[in-house]
Amino acid sequence: MGDAGEAGVTGEAGMAGERGRVAAIIGGGVIGGGWAARFLLMGWEVRFFDPDPAAADRLAATLENARRALPGLHDAALPQEGRLAVCATISEAVAGADWIQESVPERLELKRKTFQKLQEHCEPDAVIASSTSGFTARQLQGCATRPEQILVAHPFNPVYLLPLAELVTTDDNPPERIEKAEKILREIGMYPLHITAEIEAHIADRLLEAFWREALWMIRDDVATTEQIDAAIRMGFGLRLAQMGLFETYRIAGGEGGMRHFLAQFGPCLKWNWTRLMDVPELDRALIDKIAAQSDAQSGHMSIGELERARDENLVAILRALKGRGRGAGAHLNAVDAALPRPALDISCPILTVSRAVPLDWTDYNGHMNEARYLQAFGDATDRFMEIIGCDADYIASGGSYFTAETHIRHLDEVRAGARIRIETLCLMGEGKKLHLFHRMFEGERLLATGEHLLLHVSLETRRSCPPAPHIAARLEEIATAHAALPRPEGVGRAVMGGR
Amino acid sequence: MGDAGEAGVTGEAGMAGERGRVAAIIGGGVIGGGWAARFLLMGWEVRFFDPDPAAADRLAATLENARRALPGLHDAALPQEGRLAVCATISEAVAGADWIQESVPERLELKRKTFQKLQEHCEPDAVIASSTSGFTARQLQGCATRPEQILVAHPFNPVYLLPLAELVTTDDNPPERIEKAEKILREIGMYPLHITAEIEAHIADRLLEAFWREALWMIRDDVATTEQIDAAIRMGFGLRLAQMGLFETYRIAGGEGGMRHFLAQFGPCLKWNWTRLMDVPELDRALIDKIAAQSDAQSGHMSIGELERARDENLVAILRALKGRGRGAGAHLNAVDAALPRPALDISCPILTVSRAVPLDWTDYNGHMNEARYLQAFGDATDRFMEIIGCDADYIASGGSYFTAETHIRHLDEVRAGARIRIETLCLMGEGKKLHLFHRMFEGERLLATGEHLLLHVSLETRRSCPPAPHIAARLEEIATAHAALPRPEGVGRAVMGGR
């Protein structure tokens, strides 16, 4: 976090607080803490109540995680962080609050008692939302004083990052109250999915529960371990679910015939014993028609070809995001890359430091490679050059590295996704703590861009510049000497607009 | 694709082909075509057989999608694309092939007949892999001449992007054959998940089938539409599944108590009717111990706090990837950003064009914001400036835009994830087709970097420079005139190393 906008944890409630953006968080486990963090970072005042004395510490840890992750997720500044008050009583927490989020343990009697207590002290027009994953809104409203206030807003862990909130209501909730709830959820960045069916566990957890029970059978029967099941998900269909869900994915699998063709092709499998969970709906004409019509309404504005390309763009972007973190399928793909052959190293000419295709996620609204990706590719070229001179992961772990101090890029020509590009790197100077590189990016013989860079060797401890280790200095001298004999390329030493 | 490496579709098989990297693709639907594309792009020769005359056209479409997506997924050049031969007979396709991939329709008798036929012509040491999603390896080996050749390699659509291949074998497959299969799958970028249990539908499709059946119940019972179910997945738990799977996610939900605590907390739900699929395993002590031990073996090398942070980094990276595509949860988050308040516009001073926090995925191995992200932030500042002068989405759709021609960045100080940064933009010149901008990036009062940029107005039709529309020229003149009265900041017009 920056230098502004952080709220301290205070021990008293801001009872004077103006109405309008005050949330009371009742119950502060992983879920309640996540709600508190999201409201705070979205600028709300939060009053937090949990009878467990350890809850405030847990909240502080959650808030630290959230501050690290949520603000940067957005491409605009969030409001100034709200004030947090840890309250000693429920009444203190809920008085004057606009939103009251109940996240106490999953026992119906406890939840009902909590509602009874807080309705004695809260405003009648406040939204009282339960985080319940199992109970229906009707069950919660039960014998409440003002059932119209109570609804379900079921979030997903981590609450401060995942947008989904299942908003479950009954006929007892007036439309204005439901609208208000939707508006506030959107205001704090969530995606309210409105559910009116009376069903335990709402939608997402019903799916997850079926999934989980099947997984338990596989563990019990020694079909697979937890690690194999997780790999089966994150190396494959989990990536599809993340971007399109289930039905849009299967619509594509049906080809130009869409959902109806998919159902015709895979419907018969329903008769097979493919899960240990055996109740199966009858896939009759009425159900097929219903699914096909809903799928048309959902995705019919795109052809299968368009859906395929959108899916591929999403998957490439997600997989490349995971490569950047070195996790899940990204770790696997990084290993694949490491096994691909490297171009032969020859320091007697400009060094081939990058050879690759332009990824789908490097293009922008102009349809060509985005300007920042030129620098990313040049940065990769610099990284490869670093490896060549011995400034590798081990050296960096030992406390030395090069930081880029200055960059000059000339964007000479456009390039599109899929094009094979290469970068040739010239070492103009490598003496003491200074390193001066000149990269040229080509597609075939076409020069696309040049990148001129001044790097400084730094101590990662002091963050100040200092000379590199002797083996690096020696290798640099060798390369710089070899490159000094080469012709100086056009464009070196230029300023933007000729220094105008 | 670039200027090299594409193979034409030929009508005859390269029968002379050297052994070593030849794959025969038998059955060319969505799955067979995906296999063919992956093998080709990874440098293999592919011999393709499908009795349907339309199959070659379908393959060409799949190959086009794959060429667009797969090479750029990797951060190193793939081998030169292999040669594709469309064969008239199975025997022609399989003779001399190292890998034979069967993807014919899901009927056991048809698959057995296909194996019988191809075993008459293929090499005895070739791998014969079936794409079956349902049959066990034992069922496929059935009455084959050489059962030891036959195994399952079950991929996921799109085969050219998703790494998972379920590799199912029996005792009849010698270890060397299994090793060879694993090696080849890794060589073409896949992640072989070895399964030895005799179980129909392997692992992933059992999970998916439970999921799918529950989803069908919900549609049938009018609990939710296909669109609501997809939203429940892609706005929430689908994002978690994509990066960690099920068990590692739930291990985190258990807090420092890990998997054992999670099972204690949520185990009782198994008794509740939370799915329409009712068979439930007994969550006895033996099963709890087994799951907890497997989860420890899988994830025990990381604390829950470390897992939480890794999860958050993955989720931020995935969500930001989807924001870049404007799809799924990314479309929702872009809408959230659009509703956040914009800084007030005042052209009488340097214009506040960016105000945001540094995202988790913008940092590199040095622990600070990666050099390319400085240009990304400056690019965002330029985009905002474009909006201000009227070069917005509508104007770009009408055929005009600005392209960056030259960039000079001075990296003056470091900045870390979560820091709040802002960019102030000065218009140094805006005349005719030229636009000269100078961005300064700050954290509080600390100057982090400057970015000097020359942009040229272009026609998106001719891709050549030309003057902007009059309303843009007028607005630019207004701003440039106002800014000409401001002090010229230090650093304008500089070259790297002072032009050395």
| Each residue's pLDDT tens digit, A353-375 | 999 999 999 987 667 899 999 99
How does pLDDT run across A158-181, given as a tens digit for each residue? 999 999 999 999 999 999 999 999
Chain mean position to CA A146? 38
Q: Are A43 and A83 in contact (CB under 8 A)?
A: no
> Quick check: B162 and A496 CB within 8 A?
no
Smallest CA–CA distance, residue A288 to chain B, in Å, is 9
Mutation pick from A248, A336, A447 vs chain B, by most beta carbons of B within 10 Å, is A336
Predicted pLDDT of residue B262: 83
Nearest CA in chain B to A399: B366
> Quick check: A407 and B496 CB within 8 A?
yes
Question: What is the C-alpha radius of gyration for chain B, rounded to an integer number of angstroms?
Answer: 29
Q: Are A399 and A461 in contact (CB under 8 A)?
A: yes
- Residue B347's pLDDT band (cuts 50, 70, 90): very high
Q: Rounded CA gap, A500 and B3, in Å? A: 38
**pLDDT surpasses 80 at A276:** no
- Residue B290's pLDDT band (cuts 50, 70, 90): confident
Is the pTM of the predicted complex or chain greater than 0.90?
yes
Beta strand segments in A52-149, E: 84-86, 99-102, 127-130
Count how many Cα atoms sit within 13 Å of the Cα of residue A379 in the half-sphere of its side chain: 21
Predicted pLDDT of residue A270: 65
CA-CA-CA-CA torsion sign (A249, A251, A255, A260):
positive
> Quick check: B3 and A274 CB within 8 A?
no
Give the torsion through C-alpha atoms of B477, B482, B488, B491, to 10 deg. Answer: -50
Predicted pLDDT of residue B24: 98
In B, which residues are within 8 Å of A384 by CB distance? none
Predicted pLDDT of residue B20: 57
Which residues 297-316 in chain A show a CB within 8 A of chain B? 297-298, 305, 308-316
Q: Which residues of A458-471 are buried (b: 16+ CB within 10 A; e: fewer)?
A: beeeeeebeebeee
> Quick check: B231 and A322 CB within 8 A?
no
Q: Rounded CA gap, B113 and B108, in Å? A: 9
Predicted pLDDT of residue B17: 39
In B, which residues are within 8 Å of A276 by CB distance? 279, 281
What residue type is assigned to position B3 of the chain? D
**pLDDT surpasses 80 at B169:** yes
> Quick check: B275 and A406 CB within 8 A?
no
Predicted pLDDT of residue A15: 38
Nearest CA in chain A to B251: A226
How does pLDDT run across B139-158, given as a tens digit for each residue? 999 989 999 999 999 999 99
Task: Point out the residue among A162, A205, A223 whose CB comes nearest to the CB of B274.
Answer: A205
Say whether residue B210 is in contact with chain A using an 8 A CB cutoff: yes
Predicted pLDDT of residue A6: 35
Asked if ipTM goes beyond 0.90, one says yes
**pLDDT surpasses 50 at A44:** yes
Task: Point out the residue among A187, A224, A312 whose CB comes nearest to the CB of B161.
Answer: A312
Nearest CA in chain A to B220: A287
B345 closest CA partner among B289, B378, B310, B390:
B390
How does pLDDT run across A133-155, given as a tens digit for each residue? 999 999 999 989 999 999 999 99
Comparing A14-28, A29-43, A297-311, B173-187, the range with the smallest average pLDDT is: A14-28
Mean pLDDT of A260-271: 75
Which residues 36-55 in chain A show a CB within 8 A of chain B? none
Instruction: Specify the 3-state DSSP secondary structure of A386.
Output: helix
Task: Point out the residue among B75, B204, B210 whose CB comes nearest to the CB of A232.
Answer: B204
Smallest CA–CA distance, residue A247 to chain B, in Å, is 6
DSSP for residue B236 = I
Mean pLDDT of B341-355: 93
Smallest CA–CA distance, residue A67 to chain B, in Å, is 7
Predicted pLDDT of residue B275: 67
Mean pLDDT of B115-119: 96
Which residues 104-163 in chain B show a CB within 8 A of chain A? 134, 156-158, 161-163
Task: Point out the residue among A318, A404, A443 whose CB comes nearest to the CB of B321.
Answer: A318
Comparing A9-13, A26-30, A416-420, B32-36, the range with the smallest average pLDDT is: A9-13
Mean pLDDT of B80-109: 96
In B, which residues are within 8 Å of A1 by CB distance? 357, 418-420
Predicted pLDDT of residue B15: 38
Q: At residue B193, what are phi and psi to the nearest 5 degrees?
A: -105, 110
User: Where do the H-state alpha helices sit in A254-399?
Assistant: 258-266, 285-299, 304-325, 329-339, 371-389, 393-397
Average pLDDT, chain B: 90
In A, which residues are within 8 Å of B223 by CB distance? 195, 197, 199, 203, 206
Q: At residue B299, what are phi and psi to the nearest 5 degrees?
A: -125, 0
CA-CA-CA-CA torsion sign (B221, B222, B227, B230):
negative
Longest CA–CA span in chain B (Å) reads 88
Nearest CA in chain B to A216: B281
How does pLDDT run across A240-258, given as a tens digit for each residue? 999 999 999 989 888 777 7
In B, which residues are within 8 Å of A432 by CB distance? none
Which residues 370-399 in chain B show a CB within 8 A of chain A? 370-376, 379-380, 393, 396
Helix then strand then coil, % of chain B, to nearest 5 = 45, 20, 35
Which residues 183-202 in chain B show a CB within 8 A of chain A? 186-187, 189, 191, 193, 195, 197, 199-201
Smallest CA–CA distance, residue A121 to chain B, in Å, is 31
Q: Are B245 and B259 in contact (CB under 8 A)?
A: no
Q: Are A283 and A265 in contact (CB under 8 A)?
A: no
**pLDDT surpasses 60 at B500:** no
> Quick check: A406 and B497 CB within 8 A?
yes
- Residue B16's pLDDT band (cuts 50, 70, 90): very low
Say whether residue B366 is in contact with chain A using an 8 A CB cutoff: yes
**pLDDT surpasses 80 at A57:** yes
> Quick check: A320 and B166 CB within 8 A?
no
Mean pLDDT of B352-376: 90
- Residue A268's pLDDT band (cuts 50, 70, 90): low
Mean pLDDT of A33-55: 97
- Residue A282's pLDDT band (cuts 50, 70, 90): confident
> Quick check: B333 and A270 CB within 8 A?
no
Task: Point out the residue among B315, B372, B401 whose CB comes nearest to the CB of A372.
Answer: B372
Comparing A296-305, A362-371, B424-433, the range with the smallest average pLDDT is: A362-371
B408 closest CA partner among B363, B439, B435:
B439
Residue with tokens 């090479």: B71
Percent of chain B with pLDDT over 70: 92
**pLDDT surpasses 60 at B12:** no
Mean pLDDT of A426-444: 96
Nearest CA in chain B to A418: B1
Task: Point out the residue among A236, A242, A499 whose CB comes nearest to the CB of B493.
Answer: A499
How does pLDDT run across A94-113, given as a tens digit for each residue? 999 999 999 999 999 999 99
Close Cβ partners of A333 (under 8 Å, ≥ 6 residues apart): A319, A322, A323, B73, B74, B163, B189
Q: At residue B84, what are phi and psi to the nearest 5 degrees?
A: -110, 130
Domains of chain A: 9-195 (3.40.50.720), 217-310 (no CATH), 342-499 (3.10.129.10)
**pLDDT surpasses 80 at A193:** yes
Predicted pLDDT of residue B375: 96
Predicted pLDDT of residue A83: 96
Smallest CA–CA distance, residue B30 to chain A, in Å, is 8
**pLDDT surpasses 50 at B388:** yes
What residue type is assigned to position B96 of the chain? G
Say whether residue B356 is in contact with chain A using an 8 A CB cutoff: yes
DSSP for residue A12 = S
- Residue A1's pLDDT band (cuts 50, 70, 90): very low
Q: Please, which residues bridge with residue B150 across strands?
A: B128
Say whether residue A401 is in contact with chain B using an 8 A CB cutoff: yes
**Strand A164-168's sheet: what is its strand order?**
A9-10, A84-86, A45-49, A22-26, A99-102, A127-130, A150-155, A164-168, A191-195
- Residue B227's pLDDT band (cuts 50, 70, 90): very high
